[in-house]
Structure 1
Amino acid sequence: MKWIDGEHILKLNGINHWVRIEGGQHNTIPLVIIHGGPGGNHYTFERIVGPLLSENRTIVYYEQRGCGRSERPVSDEDYSLDFLLKDFKELINWLDTKKVDLLGYSFGGELALEFAYECPEKINKIILSAPSLMNSEIQRLVQITGFMSVANEKLYQQIIDFQRKDISPEKILDKIWEQVDTETVDLFLFENQEIAKKNRMLWEESKLINTGLMMRSLQKHPLPISLMDRLKDIHQRVLIIAGVFDRNTGIPIAKLFLRSLPNSQLVVFDKSAHFPDLEETDKFVHVVREFLDD
């Protein structure tokens, strides 16, 4: 199929989704980019990393239901994984291609693995950048430790007090997110604060807001069998990218995926936190291209 570059509005599973194709003239296996959040968007990625990847590959961006420039479902409950899987299958049908590659960042990495598990015959290779493991105890502990490492004295002491009161990690995180300021969030997500400022500028420029509805729905309706218990059945080649300073998902989660996915490899970025694509863009593009072209 010859893909036409530009923005498209596709009705997938009854919801209008924002889709953008770049590099269609290359006619390669499409690289579908899956954003994180949950509830995020592609605005920053499509302005910094995407144009470099599309120099020699066909890139497909799509924003999940209720995210970014895509339409919100009528019900605030219609964000479950079942809906996201059905949306993705219809996107692949529209692309009319035998296989696609996947690049998912943060929660998008976790979602990419769910897609690969659900329709393995359609997935070629998978790239996970700083993948999350939502609803897991290990991710909560990584995040709490991460916040402690960048917190001011007041926040640090509050976290210590929460732990002494035997408050659960889930509730401690809720309390942290309720009170952290933008400076602390930037320190948490980025090692290079100049890159953090550029990222925040693009967030504000986009005027796109994460409603939090998808996060709440996914937390409310977790799958009966955890993703970790199904990773052994995902046999595609998987590249895992992790920033050594990632305080959000972290090296421990990347190592868990590496150990559990039978055909995976890990590349650690030594100057990055949660966004290697932004903090070490040239290296990120080189590593992704090398993996896809191999």
Structure 2
Amino acid sequence: MNIVYLHGGPGRNSNAEEQLLKNKISSALNLDQSNIFFWHEPSVNRGYKHSSLSPYEAWFDSAKNSITHKNTILIAHSFAAIAALSLCQELSSSIKKLILIAPAIDIFHVDKMIFSLVANIKNSDFLKNARSDFFNLDAFLQVADYPHLERHYWANKLAMEQYWSINSSSPQWQFDVTSFIGVRQTLNVQLPSNINTPTMAIYGAHDEVVNFHHQNNLIKKIASNYKSVIFANSAHFPSLEESDHFIHTLQNFLYP
């Protein structure tokens, strides 16, 4: 068995998740660490040179190329759920089970959630009425002007500080604005109509950017063998905010 972990984003990486989860997963599942792969998206921060592919195509192909074994357990966080569901259709013989963490398969709904969040904080009528569209750059500029947005992604502030500390250690692990803009501007989502891969989604009860009912109902229409759980003390990063609970949940899903 091999495990592949796709981080959320775009613009992020799996460095903090690898540092905080790899040993725990290895120990709990009795897996050699060489069988656990934490994917990092193409980024100029890590020397990526732009190719003839669009940023989204390069992002998707990189995620796809991370799956190299026939017995793969795929874990995908947030935005990466979009790729993960498609990969379960394309690579159905390789991906045996799928775990989605705070899945954001309707990314425009997430945009709208973020607009509303910042609108309420800034009392912005413009943001309250902004259309859910990444190309609404005026809205994104207002959101970017709010310096504390990231804090709303976490209920466990200690886990948040660990995440920030690890990823601020080197420029290669810091947020890549170029990747975020490029991938989002060239986004071409083609979700499958049905997948048979056993799938579990983990949501945080305090997630302010992913709406459980909206995203969960969409996934139920796609994944025929699906279950979901909610972590009571987490927001958008339940695998890090309640890491022991995450490992236990992972064990039970893989070895029922």
Query: Shorter-chain TM-score category?
Result: 0.7 to 0.9
- Superimposed CA distance per residue, residues 7-51 of structure 1 (whole angstroms, 9 cap, x where no aligned partner): xxxxxxxxxxxxxxxxxxxxxx10111111112111110111221
Q: Counterparts of 2:126 and 2:23 in 1: how far apart (Å)?
A: 46
Q: Counterparts of 1:90 and 1:196 in 2: how far apart (Å)?
A: 29
- For the residue of structure 2 that corresponds to 1:242, the secondary structure is strand
CA-CA distance at 1:162 after TM superposition: 3.7
Percent identical among aligned pairs is 21
Partner of 1:240 in structure 2? 201
CA-CA distance at 1:135 after TM superposition: 4.3
Partner of 2:145 in structure 1? 179
CA-CA distance at 1:253 after TM superposition: 4.0
Partner of 1:72 in structure 2? 48
Question: Is contact 1:100–1:124 with CA below 8 Å preserved after alignment?
Answer: yes
Higher relative contact order (CA 8 A, sep 6+): 2
CA-CA distance at 1:77 after TM superposition: 5.7
Q: Counterparts of 1:105 and 1:90 in 2: how far apart (Å)?
A: 17
1:52-67 → structure 2 map (5 Å cutoff):
52-55=24-27, 56-57=30-31, 58-66=35-43
1:28-43 → structure 2 map (5 Å cutoff):
29-43=1-15
Partner of 1:210 in structure 2? 175
More off after superposition, 102-111 vs 185-194: 185-194
More off after superposition, 123-132 vs 167-176: 167-176
Q: Counterparts of 1:250 and 1:176 in 2: how far apart (Å)?
A: 22
- For the residue of structure 2 that corresponds to 1:37, the secondary structure is coil
- Give the residue type in structure 2 aligned to 1:45: E
Which structure would you say has the larger Rg? 1
CA-CA distance at 1:178 after TM superposition: 2.2
Q: Counterparts of 2:250 and 2:218 in 1: how far apart (Å)?
A: 18
Verify: 1:145 aligned to 2:116, yes or no: yes
1:154-193 → structure 2 map (5 Å cutoff):
155=122, 157-158=123-124, 160-163=125-128, 166-170=129-133, 171=136, 173-181=139-147, 184-193=148-157
Q: Counterparts of 2:250 and 2:19 in 1: how far apart (Å)?
A: 17
Verify: 1:49 aligned to 2:15, yes or no: no
CA-CA distance at 1:145 after TM superposition: 3.3
Partner of 2:251 in structure 1? 289
- Give the residue type in structure 2 aligned to 1:144: F
CA-CA distance at 1:263 after TM superposition: 0.9
TM-score, structure 1 length as denominator?
Answer: 0.74
Question: Is contact 2:4–2:75 with CA below 8 Å preserved after alignment?
Answer: yes
- For the residue of structure 1 that corresponds to 2:163, the secondary structure is helix
- Give the residue type in structure 1 aligned to 2:37: V
* Closer/same/farther in 2, CA of residues 246 and 68 from structure 1, 3 Å limit: farther
CA-CA distance at 1:269 after TM superposition: 0.6
Question: Is contact 1:33–1:104 with CA below 8 Å preserved after alignment?
Answer: yes
Verify: 1:267 aligned to 2:229, yes or no: yes
Q: Counterparts of 1:291 and 1:173 in 2: how far apart (Å)?
A: 40
- For the residue of structure 2 that corresponds to 1:54, the secondary structure is helix
* Closer/same/farther in 2, CA of residues 222 and 47 from structure 1, 3 Å limit: closer
Verify: 1:201 aligned to 2:165, yes or no: yes
- For the residue of structure 1 that corresponds to 2:169, the secondary structure is helix
Partner of 2:75 in structure 1? 103
Unmatched runs of 5 consecutive residues or more in structure 2: none
Partner of 2:238 in structure 1? 276
